[in-house]
Amino acid sequence: MTAVPAPIAVALDAPDIETAARWATLVTPHVSTVKVGLELYMRYGPDAVASVRGASRVQVFLDLKLHDIPATVAAAARAVARLRPAYLTVHAAGGPAMIRAAVEAAPSTRIAAVTVLTSLGDADLGAIGLAGPASDAVRRLAALAVGAGAQALVCSPREAAAVRGEVGPDITLITPGVRPTGAANQDQARVATPEAALEAGADLLVIGRPITGAPDPGAAAAAIAAALRRSYADAS
């Protein structure tokens, strides 16, 4: 019997399309989703999506973090909706009209709003005129995005419980910054284990280098998926 794929989006941050496609083939038996980011999309465009999907039914998460005037974002969202991504990211800071424009332009795709980039600290936020602690800005932007029709939000696992409290049960919470116990943090400052991220209310865990940087990405994905299944079994 094949196990249900784990709620993991593997970040295919590869230098070239062949590597991304190889990683996708290795991990798709174990995970629900693969994530195509700016680097790959800027270089290869729609071919990147076709290559990582291959012949599989894996969901594609198109992480383009759109941020422009509503008409431009609507046109961009419409252009990529043809590729049938399950998720497309926009910046919540683009405002409600921009978010709604994306939602309406891509009705079969879940628009995921990025609240505050985890690379920004409180001092950086002050410098760009967003007063108050980052956690307040995250909650404010989460509520704004959901009010404008976003069906998903990207936030740090450390913020997931507060965001869940703000937006209720129906919004998909997507969390990067996930590190299995013992894995290196690399440049992620605020990390949580996969089990802790799900416990905090995350629905989809973005994991890149702990899987793609492993000697065998398929085995690494399978191991994390199995650990998550064990933690569900323990919790029930």
| Catalytic (active-site) positions | 65
Is residue 159 classed as helix, strand or coil in its secondary structure? Answer: helix
Q: Minimal distance in Å, beta carbon 71 to ligand C5P? A: 25
Q: Does 224 bind ligand C5P (CB under 6 A)?
A: no
User: Rounded distance, CA 61 to CA 154, Å?
Assistant: 12
Nearer to ligand C5P, 201 or 208 (CB): 208
Q: Which of residues 149-178 bind ligand C5P (CB under 6 A)?
A: 154, 176-177
The continuous run of DSSP H or E covering 6 comes out as strand 6-11
Nearer to ligand C5P, 78 or 190 (CB): 190
Query: Which residues, including other chains, have CB under 8 Å from residue 156's CB and lie 6 or more apart?
Result: 118, 138, 175, 176, 177, 190
Q: Does 70 bind ligand C5P (CB under 6 A)?
A: no
Nearer to ligand C5P, 119 or 236 (CB): 119
Q: Which of residues 18-37 bind ligand C5P (CB under 6 A)?
A: 37
Number of residues that bind ligand C5P (CB under 6 A): 14
The one-letter code for the residue type at 158 is R
For 34, 59, 132, 174, the CA distances from 85, given in Å and listed in that order, are 10, 7, 34, 15
| CB-based closest residue to ligand C5P | 208
In 93-182, alpha helices (H) = 96-105, 122-127, 134-147, 160-167
- Per DSSP bridges, beta strands 172-175 and 31-37 are unpaired
User: Rounded distance, CA 163 to CA 112, Å?
Assistant: 14
Q: Which of 188, 198, 202, 205 binds ligand C5P (CB under 6 A)?
A: 188
Nearer to ligand C5P, 85 or 208 (CB): 208
200 to 219: interface string for ligand C5P, x by CB under 6 A? ------xxxx----------
- What's the sign of the alpha-carbon dihedral 18, 31, 99, 130? negative
Q: Which of residues 78-137 bind ligand C5P (CB under 6 A)?
A: 117-118
Q: Minimal distance in Å, beta carbon 141 to ligand C5P? A: 12
Give the residues lining the site for ligand C5P (CB under 6 A). 11, 13, 37, 117-118, 154, 176-177, 186, 188, 206-209
